[in-house]
Each structure stands twice: as C-alpha cells, then as structure tokens.
Structure 1
Amino acid sequence: MQILVLTSDPDVRAVLPGLDLLPHPVRACRPSVQEFLSAGWCDVVLVDGRTQPFAACELSRGLVATARGIPVIGVIEELVASQIDEDCAVVQLVLASAGPAEIDARLRLAGRRRVVEPGPAAAAVLAVGPFVLDVHAWSVTVDGAPLALTHHEFELLKVLLLHAGRPLTRAQLVSECDGWTDGTGPRAVDCHIRAIRAKLGRHRGLVRTVRGHGYVLPRLPPGASEAGHPAGTT
C-alpha cells in the first residue's frame, strides 16, 4: 500500500512512529492540495494534524474536493481528539501514538473504502456558481468561457473556490496559495483580487470583500449566479 504523508515536519517518521514498523512504502510532501496533486499515485493520504488539527481539517476538505477518491486519514494527538467536529472531511482519525497493529488495520479499512468512492473522472474539477476550475489542467472557465489568470491569480481563486462560503483573511489566503514562497505579503492579495475582479466582468461582485476580515466567494450551485451583496460585504 502506497502511503503519502502531508506534513511540514522534516522528519516524516515523527508524524506516526508506528508506521515505521510496517512494510508500506511511505512518501511525504508539504501540506497543500497542489503538492498532493503533484505527488503522484498513492493509496492512502495521511494528514499531519498533530500541532494544527483545525488547519488539517481544512486541508482535508480541499483534498476530498480535488482528490481521486483516495481516502484521507488525519493524524492527531489525544488532547485534541474531542475537539474535532463533524465537518472534518477525513475518512477516519488515528492517534500519533497508535501502534503498528492499529495503524495497519486503519489503513486496510481505508483502502477497502476507496473501491466504492468516486473514481478519477470527478477528481480535480471544482464547480461553484459560474466557475469551473480544473486543478490538473490549471484552467478556469466562467460561464463556459476560458479565464486568463496569472499563477498567483489562479491560486487565489482556487483557494476561494475550495472554501466557498467561508470568509478568509488575507493571511489565510497567502498561507494556502501554493507557490507563494517569494515573499508575497497579505496586502498583495488586494492587488490580485482587483485583477481577478477586472477579468470577471459581470461576475466581479462574486468575489466579495468582508469588511475588517478578508474575502469570500459565496457557495453557489454549479451554473448559478447571484446578484447583490449580503450585509457587511462589498
């Protein structure tokens, strides 16, 4: 069973020590959706949530939205187990202190579930309102028309679509945008948002400013549009 661990810890063995006693091949990558998509085939994804369990839950939601039916298992510490809510998108959780027998059982159960989950056809496409974003093809259409975006603009819109309906701060957007390791600061988000809006035409109002917080893109069914703005947004 091929296992991919999403972690920022340079020592992948520290994430789930008991895994080192099992024969499964293990690879690691940074905790981001794009890194996962670029990492190649795996049977199970382990998301390191030992120090930031809620960020791990958000990442898991993005993985499920763009993944290829691959099960996601969260690795957490016992102290935060009771705080994980029903919105967490992982298949199951495992404590970082779990022994090899428990880990192996969870991996086998997760791998069995993979067979009945959606296949690759629905994998990397996000459809929210008039937007259709293909993560693998790095393309976005609006009302079926291609949208020409820079790398930063694409990453920013992708994050807003992944978290549609949830306001994100500028700092959160920067932290979740892949490839923003060139010193991009939170205030640069405003410039990229203006550029995106300028390219959206009549849909520019869907990328909304939440006063005193950041930005949000409303959660809309595929193909739908929405006029006007809710209170507290522009």
Structure 2
Amino acid sequence: MDVLVLTSAHDGRVVLPGLDLLPHRVSTRRPTVAEYLASDPCDAVLVDGRTHPSAARELSRRLVATTRGFPVIGVIDETAAPHVDGDWAIVQLVLSGAGPAEIDARLRLAQRHRSAEPEQRPSVLGVGPFTIDAQTYTISLDGRPLPLTHHQFELLKALLVHAGRPLSRADLIAECAGWTDDTSPRAVDCHVRAVRAKLGPHRDAIRTVRGHGYLIPWSPPVRPPTP
C-alpha cells in the first residue's frame, strides 16, 4: 500500500512510528494543497495533526475539495482529541502511538472510501467559484474557463493553491513557472491588474494585503469541481 504523509517533519514515519513495522511504502510531503496535488497517486493520505490540530483540520477540508479521491486519515496525539469535531474531512482517525495492527486495520478500512480509479482523474481544485484543472491547464470561474495568458494563469493558480495565505510579490515570482528572479515587483502588479480585469464581478476576490502582497481568501467550492 502506498501511503502519503503530509507533515512538516522530515520523515513521515515519525508521525506514526508503527508504520516502520509495516511493509507499506511511505512518502512524505509538506502539509499544503500544492504538495498534495504534486504528489504521486497513493492509497491513503495521513495528515499530521499532532501539534497543530486546527491547521490539520483545515488542510483536510482543502484536500477533499480536490477530486483526487484519496481517503484522508487524521493522526493526532491524545491531547489533541478534544479538538476533533465534525469539521474534520477525514474517513479515519488514529493516535500517533497506535500499534502496527491498528494502523494497518485503519488503512484497510479507509479503502472503502476511496473513489474509483482516482489516479486517472485530473487534479482539480475548487476554491469558491474558481476551479483549477491541472490537466487541461485551465482555471474556470462559475463553470466558464477564463481567457488567461501563461503568466496570468500561473499567478492566479498560485493564489488559489495557497488560498487563505497572503503571498508577497517575491513569493509569486518564485511560485509562477516561467518567471525569473529578474521579474520586477511592478510586473507582478501589472499581471494582478490584468487578472482582476478578467474576473468581472469577482475582481475583488484578489485582495491587496498592505505590507504583505496579495491574497485570495479560502472558501469551500461553490459547486463540486468538474470531474
């Protein structure tokens, strides 16, 4: 079984030490939607909620806003148990000190929630009225593809993938494929204005955060992303 662990730790096995005694293949990624979308197909996703359960809860909700279809399992310490509620978008919950037999059982139970052949689906992410389809390289607004240039697509994609977190101009330059260190902050501002112009009544979705950069607030998809 291929298990993806989303954690800030250097090795996902430290999140759930009992995995060391199981034959499953474990890969580790940073706990962000961008890292999740860039990961290889897997059989289950473990979200590290040991020290920051509220952040893990929010991440779990964002993961299911994609259409990848991999079951999400939360990993917590006993002290974090009171923070687990219905807002967690998980199919199983396991304590970090669980033994290998329990871990294996929960991984197998999670398979009941796996969508059919999710690895053959496009990586689609929904944020509010926006939908990113990584396979067709399009971003749709209210179900209609936006006529974006390459740089405009990369900029809007970065803001949506990191929705809820302000990105500085330097962050955007680093995130956007095809941009170089020589790209000026003024050029970023120009692209932001161009994207806003194409958003029509949704132009205020891209907010200016003084002293920080730009932000698109996180919100659940208005409608299920197009499969």
Q: State whether TM-score is above 0.5.
A: yes
Aligned to 2:166: 170
Paired residue secondary structure (1:75)? strand
Aligned to 1:133: 132
CA contact (8 A) 1:209 1:215 kept: no
Displacement after TM superposition at 1:126 (Å): 2.5
Residue 25 (structure 1) aligned with residue 25 (structure 2): yes
The aligned residue for residue 80 of structure 1 is: 80
**Whole-Å Cα distance in 2 between the matches of residues 206 and 28 of structure 1?**
32
2:13 is matched with which residue?
Answer: 13
Tell which has more relative contact order, 1 or 2 (C-alpha 8 A, sep 6+): 2
Q: In the alignment, does 2:72 pair up with 1:69?
A: no
Residues 179 and 52 of structure 1: CA distance in aligned 2, closer, same or farther (over 3 Å): farther
Q: Is the 8 A contact 2:138 2:153 kept in 1?
A: no
Amino-acid identity (%): 49
TM-score, length-scaled by structure 1: 0.70
Q: Give CA-to-partner distance per residue, 1:4-49, whole Å, 9 cap, x none.
A: 1111211322110011111111111121222222221210111111
Runs of 4+ in 1 over 4 A off after TM superposition: 115-123, 190-195, 206-211, 217-220
In structure 2, the residue matched to 1:216 is 217
Measure the CA separation in 2 of the matches of 1:217 and 1:5.
Answer: 23
Kindly indicate whether the alpha-carbon contact (under 8 Å) linking 2:6 and 2:29 is maintained by their aligned counterparts in 1.
yes
Judged with a 3 Å threshold, the aligned counterparts in structure 2 of structure 1 residues 14 and 153 are, in CA distance, closer, same or farther, namely same
Q: Secondary structure at the match of 2:65?
A: helix
Structure 1 gaps, min length 5: 161-167, 224-234
| 2:114 paired residue number | 114
Aligned residue pairs, count: 207
TM-score by length of 2: 0.72
**Maintained 8 Å contact 1:44/1:73:** yes
Q: Kindly provide the CA deviation profile for residues 67-126 of structure 1, in whole angstroms up to 9, marking residues without a partner as x.
A: 422100011111011112211111121111111111111011001332579785475153
Compared with structure 1, are the counterparts of its residues 54 and 219 closer, same or farther at alpha carbon in structure 2 (3 Å cutoff)?
closer
CA RMSD of aligned residues (A): 3.8
Cα deviations by residue, 1:180-208 (Å, 9 ceiling, x for unpaired): 8x99xxxx9x9576554233234313446
Return the alpha-carbon distance in structure 1 between the equivalents of residues 119 and 28 of structure 2: 23
Report what 1:46 is aligned to.
46
